Structure 1
Amino acid sequence: MTALTSRLSTGKAADDPEDYFAASLGVIFPGDVSNLHGDAEHGLLYTSPYLPRAVPLALAEVKSEDDRRLFSHYLWNASLLLAELIEVGTLGVTTSEQGGPPVEAFNVAGLETIELGAGTALPSIMAGLLGARRVVVTDYPSPPVLQTLRDNVTLAVQPRFAPAGRFAVEEAVVEGHGWGELDTPLARAGRRSFDRVIAADCLWMPWQHEKFRRSIAWFLGDGEAARAWVVGGFHTGRDKVAAFFEREALAAVGLEVEHLWERDCDGQNREWVWDRGVEDVSERKRWLGVGVLRRIREPGREGEERP
């Protein structure tokens, strides 16, 4: 079992052929790794040595084809990684891994966070348990998805799941938000008001990148320390993830890359590369791109250079 997914367990044994096949992939293909987890029947439990008990996560039961095509009814490895980074950064857990920003960069204590395309809301739940002051969770306005998010946040963002002395949430809410839709009550009230904008596995739809960047820039605060954290798996293709981080496209909404690197499911970091040529599918699935974005502060400052 890989380090990233080892904290997950399901609430029910596999009971149909599709479940057995999915569970057996790691045996049939030892080098392979699952990058999506759970379903509406099984649910998930997330455990951490730093939390007093396992956190239950429900997954949406979606009926419409439009809802199913957006895949928010699964937990993805990008969410696991972002939750882990928030945990390490906020608790100051010692790590020997190199690459990326210092771990304290992912501290959420006392901050206001908003998650876009939340799915199960695991990163937001972690932020709420570790000391964030305000947590806003969003996904596209699908009733079953939003109801599942509300159930997860209501159940899990509670002192009994938090480390002693850490819980400080004043507000934890779930709202619908379509990327780029900025004339809504949520958008009008939340413009440039969040210390952290977080998103996991939202980069696989290149046709939505422009709207997604606009939403990030809209909600990200003006403070010098305000940052957006964006994590995307390479399982749908490196080109899709890389396209989001293009310097000119980010600059068009006033953002730039501060840090950009790659991390695999075993916790190994490596330098970001825009194009690694032909990548083995199983190997590619193991890796995720991690980006830290900020507002452009000075004329002429540039983000991550592309060759």
Structure 2
Amino acid sequence: MSDTESVLGNGDELFREPDDFYKPEDPPSFDTYERKPELVRASEPSEITLRLVGKSPLWGHLLWNASKVTANYLDMHGSRLLANKTVLELGAGAGLPSFIAAIHDAKRVVITDYPEADLIANIDYNVDQYARESHVERTERERFRVAGYIWGNDTEQLCKFLPEGSDGYDLIILSDVVFNHSEHSKLLATCWNCLSRRNNDSKVFVVFTPHRARLFHRDLQFFEDAIQLGFKVEKLFEEKWSPMFEEEEETKDIRSMVYGYFLSF
């Protein structure tokens, strides 16, 4: 044996990575939203199964309480808010509310999130899966558009998805996005520019949970900013759910709440 071999040992051993050196990415997971039985019409799905990205710094790996509450409310008021309407969801994650919009015959459903490849590919996957399970795949798939979009950017790319003759979206969905306080002005600007003026009943539907109890006032500032911009603000409901995260017990009641608002012109 040479001196070199005695020092370096077997070459395979030298260059083999430790067992814990590489940590593979978390695989996607799945979650199922069950619709309230009394709201399910004949031939409609009673549940929607969604794929979630394995892990995301943008929180797309969770199906949030606010998303489920948004879906519940839209399911209950679908004929008024969704039928034959144009719908835009911002910061959609898995896109649950958008699929409720499709079930209630929205004529165009545009699902957006931050232009991160895995997030957008995951939304596309969910749309394809929904279309296949509808048994009218081509018709259903054509109703949807999926796009990456950064709040506050030029809204022309969003408005190009509108059917001919539309001046804006009839309903814009914001489900659990107001926690991002630094982006409030950009988010509101996008809503202001995309909401239909021609439809006197067009609305921005905002649903959120104060996940950081000490910053609840910053969440609510979104609505003060909306009023300053020129929106009318209407509080719709507050519901109590189990908190998404186990944190300090003294803030549990605040973090368990889900609030719903409409913004309109």
Q: 2:153 aligns with which of 156, 170, 181?
A: 181
Could you say what secondary structure the match of 2:53 adopts?
A: coil
Partner of 1:263: 239
Aligned residue type for 2:172: V
8 Å CA contact retained: 2:204, 2:264: yes
1:208, 1:132 → 2: CA distance? Answer: 28
Partner of 1:245: 223
Please tell me whether residue 52 in structure 1 is matched to residue 45 in structure 2.
yes
TM-score, length-normalised on structure 2? 0.74
Partner of 1:272: none
1:112, 1:293 → 2: CA distance? Answer: 16
Q: What is the correspondence of 1:129-144 to structure 2 with a 5 Å cutoff?
A: 129-144=103-118
Deviation at 1:236, TM superposition (A): 2.0
**Equivalences, count:** 220
Could you say what secondary structure the match of 1:75 adopts?
A: coil
Q: Structure 1 pair 196/143, CA: closer, same or farther in 2 (3 Å)?
A: same
Q: What is the correspondence of 1:129-168 to structure 2 with a 5 Å cutoff?
A: 129-157=103-131, 160=134
8 Å CA contact retained: 1:114, 1:198: yes
8 Å CA contact retained: 1:195, 1:221: yes
Q: Which runs of 5+ in 1 are unaligned?
A: 1-38, 63-67, 92-103, 267-278, 296-307
Q: Structure 1 pair 54/74, CA: closer, same or farther in 2 (3 Å)?
A: same
Please tell me whether residue 211 in structure 1 is matched to residue 183 in structure 2.
no
Q: What is the correspondence of 1:77-116 to structure 2 with a 5 Å cutoff?
A: 77-90=65-78, 107-116=81-90
Deviation at 1:287, TM superposition (A): 0.6
Could you say what secondary structure the match of 1:204 adopts?
A: coil
RMSD: 2.6
Q: 2:256 aligns with which of 272, 275, 286?
A: 286
Q: Structure 1 pair 236/108, CA: closer, same or farther in 2 (3 Å)?
A: same
Deviation at 1:192, TM superposition (A): 4.8
Partner of 1:120: 94
8 Å CA contact retained: 1:129, 1:157: no
8 Å CA contact retained: 1:182, 1:188: no
Deviation at 1:244, TM superposition (A): 0.7
Q: Could you say which structure has the higher helix fraction?
A: 2
Could you say what secondary structure the match of 1:245 adopts?
A: helix
TM-score, length-normalised on structure 1? 0.65
Could you say what secondary structure the match of 2:263 adopts?
A: strand
Q: Structure 1 pair 228/217, CA: closer, same or farther in 2 (3 Å)?
A: same
Aligned residue type for 2:48: V
Partner of 2:246: none
Partner of 1:226: 202
- Between the two structures, name the one with larger relative contact order (CA 8 Å, sep ≥ 6): 1
Deviations along 1:69-92, one digit per CA (max 9) or x if unpaired, are: 32122111110000000101126x
8 Å CA contact retained: 2:113, 2:147: yes
Could you say what secondary structure the match of 1:74 adopts?
A: coil
Deviation at 1:58, TM superposition (A): 0.4
Q: Structure 1 pair 217/119, CA: closer, same or farther in 2 (3 Å)?
A: same
Aligned residue type for 1:125: F
Please tell me whether residue 73 in structure 1 is matched to residue 73 in structure 2.
no
Deviations along 1:203-256, one digit per CA (max 9) or x if unpaired, are: 11111111111111111111211011000102223223211111xx21443312
Could you say what secondary structure the match of 1:234 adopts?
A: coil
Aligned residue type for 1:45: T
1:60, 1:157 → 2: CA distance? Answer: 19
8 Å CA contact retained: 1:264, 1:288: yes
Bigger Rg, which one: 2
Q: Structure 1 pair 288/181, CA: closer, same or farther in 2 (3 Å)?
A: same
Aligned residue type for 2:34: T
Could you say what secondary structure the match of 2:150 adopts?
A: coil
Q: Which runs of 5+ in 2 are unaligned?
A: 1-25, 243-248
